[in-house]
């Protein structure tokens, strides 16, 4: 269930009191003192509900209700009313308000109405997510490009693993796309409407593992570089698996895990648990015939994301690409496509521009591309770009970007 509550009231004492009630219940209050402070939170994918006072200076609760209904007619808005405002609140119910509460409001009735609204919002968002999954069709065909024999075999294996529903191991060289394969398996599985959580293993402790398992409840948890799990976290993971979990765990690796077992860095039981169902992603040099179609796709994607005209890709360019080994695999090819799009596009003409301006344009385009790949999930985006969170947010601010603008769920 969602847990965020946007609480809007111009009285600081009421805001703080109700916010504290929400926190004690394990919910996440977002406090705002006016319509202006609250409106930017309201988007079609806002994962919470709104509680607003009716009478406020300037634009009041009715104005906020109307704005919320315009943004998303299914977004629950609860009105706080004074004694003389009840007729207005009843009228507001006819305008689409979820419910109203009379002030002063005790914690019990307040939390009861808020909890009901949150459950309603969670159901709406889940139904929307399920509808998007259905619309996407075969995610393997849509997300795993290539016409080589190896590419077709990969898609077939991914479909098989998705339908099997068991935990699985995904191996491949760095940059080959283990996390993307994990996401496709999730989208093709019966758990597609539930969360897909990506978690790097190298920074995970036992408490973090517990939080990741909880976040992926009912869905899929992808553990990137499972061989880097600390010994105590490996033991904790085995304990959770043996106890039974209502989720699927997909383990990714760029290393030979049997060698990690032999070296004593990975528990044998954990290796054999995931190795029962396994898929290996072929390297780009093994399926070099897919390079042209992948490069053209990445160039088109880069141009669309950066709002640039698409350059012509001649045979000489393709021949140069085919002559390379691509040790960085698809990720390296994607970066090459981004550089190609930026260098040959009229919108990035280096005449009259200094190096700093050119680099700023490239950096902004790379940020946009990464945010779109991760659908606005700031933590995952910063991790891919290998940036500390503060540095990442500083760069977003410098380029006028907001992670939430790229969210789709």
- What is the Cα–Cα distance from 6 to 175, expressed in whole angstroms? 40
Average pLDDT on 52-66 reads 86
Q: Which band of pLDDT confidence, cut at 50, 70 and 90, is reported for residue 359?
A: low
**Cβ pair 334, 376 in contact under 8 A:** no
- What is the Cα–Cα distance from 88 to 278, expressed in whole angstroms? 61
Q: Which helix (H) or strand (E) holds 222?
A: strand 220-224
Considering Cα of 375, then 376, then 377, then 381, what sign does the dihedral take? positive
Output the pTM of the full model.
Answer: 0.56
pLDDT > 70? residue 133: no
* Mean pLDDT over each residue of the chain, to the nearest integer: 86
Residue 136: half-sphere exposure toward Cβ, Cα within 13 Å: 20
Peptide bond into 104 cis (omega under 30): yes
pLDDT > 90? residue 176: yes
pLDDT > 90? residue 97: no
pLDDT > 80? residue 318: yes
> Which one is predicted more confidently, 349 or 214?
214
> Which one is predicted more confidently, 349 or 55?
55
Q: Which band of pLDDT confidence, cut at 50, 70 and 90, is reported for residue 132?
A: low
- pLDDT for 356 equals 60
Q: Which band of pLDDT confidence, cut at 50, 70 and 90, is reported for residue 159?
A: very high
- pLDDT for 348 equals 34
Q: Which helix (H) or strand (E) holds 367?
A: helix 355-373
Quick one: which of 285, 385, 375 has its CA closest to 45? 375
> Which one is predicted more confidently, 114 or 81?
114
Residue 122: half-sphere exposure toward Cβ, Cα within 13 Å: 13
At 294, list the tokens. Answer: 């992948």
Quick one: which of 235, 243, 237, 207 has its CA closest to 223? 237
User: What are the tens digits of pLDDT across the range 239-263?
Assistant: 999 999 999 999 999 999 999 999 9
pLDDT > 80? residue 82: no
Residue 35: half-sphere exposure toward Cβ, Cα within 13 Å: 15
Phi and psi of 145, rounded to 5°? -80, 160
Average pLDDT on 372-386 reads 85
**Cβ pair 158, 300 in contact under 8 A:** no
Q: Which band of pLDDT confidence, cut at 50, 70 and 90, is reported for residue 346?
A: very low
């Amino acid at each position: 269930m969602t847990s965020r509550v946007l609480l809007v009231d111009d009285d600081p004492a009421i805001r703080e009191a109700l916010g504290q009630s929400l926190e004690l219940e394990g919910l996440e209050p977002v406090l705002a003192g006016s319509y202006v402070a609250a409106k930017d939170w309201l988007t079609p994918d806002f994962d919470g509900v709104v509680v607003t006072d009716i009478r406020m200076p300037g634009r009041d609760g009715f104005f906020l209700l109307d704005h919320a209904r315009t943004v998303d007619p299914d977004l629950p808005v609860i009105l706080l009313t004074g004694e003389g405002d009840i007729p207005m609140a009843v009228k507001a119910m006819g305008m689409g308000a979820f419910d109203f509460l009379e002030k002063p409001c005790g914690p019990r009735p307040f939390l009861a109405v808020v909890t009901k609204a949150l459950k309603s919002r969670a159901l709406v968002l889940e139904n929307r997510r399920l509808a998007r999954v259905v619309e996407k069709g075969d995610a393997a065909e849509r997300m795993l490009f290539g016409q080589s024999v190896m590419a077709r075999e990969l898609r077939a294996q991914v479909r098989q693993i998705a339908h099997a529903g068991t935990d699985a191991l995904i191996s491949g060289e760095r940059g080959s796309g283990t996390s993307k394969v994990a996401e496709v398996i999730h989208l093709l599985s019966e758990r597609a409407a539930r969360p897909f959580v990506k978690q790097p293993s190298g920074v995970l402790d036992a408490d973090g593992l517990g939080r990741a398992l909880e976040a992926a409840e009912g869905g899929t948890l992808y553990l990137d570089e499972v061989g880097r799990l600390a010994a105590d976290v490996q033991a904790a993971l085995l304990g959770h698996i043996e106890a039974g979990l209502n989720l699927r765990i997909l383990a990714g690796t760029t290393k030979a895990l049997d060698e990690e077992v032999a070296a004593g860095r990975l528990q044998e039981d954990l290796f054999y648990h995931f190795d029962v169902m396994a898929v290996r992603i072929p390297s780009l040099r093994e399926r070099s015939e897919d390079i042209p179609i992948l490069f053209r796709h990445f160039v088109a994607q880069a141009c669309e994301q950066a709002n640039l005209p698409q350059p012509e890709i001649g045979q000489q360019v393709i021949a140069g690409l085919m002559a390379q080994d691509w040790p960085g695999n698809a990720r390296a090819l994607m970066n090459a496509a981004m550089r190609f799009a930026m260098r040959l596009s009229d919108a990035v003409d280096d005449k009259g521009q200094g190096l700093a301006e050119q680099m700023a344009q490239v950096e902004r385009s790379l940020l946009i591309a990464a945010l779109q790949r991760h659908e606005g999930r700031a933590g995952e985006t910063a991790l891919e770009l290998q940036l500390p969170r503060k540095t990442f947010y500083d760069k977003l601010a410098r380029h006028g970007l907001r992670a939430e603008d790229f969210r789709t769920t």
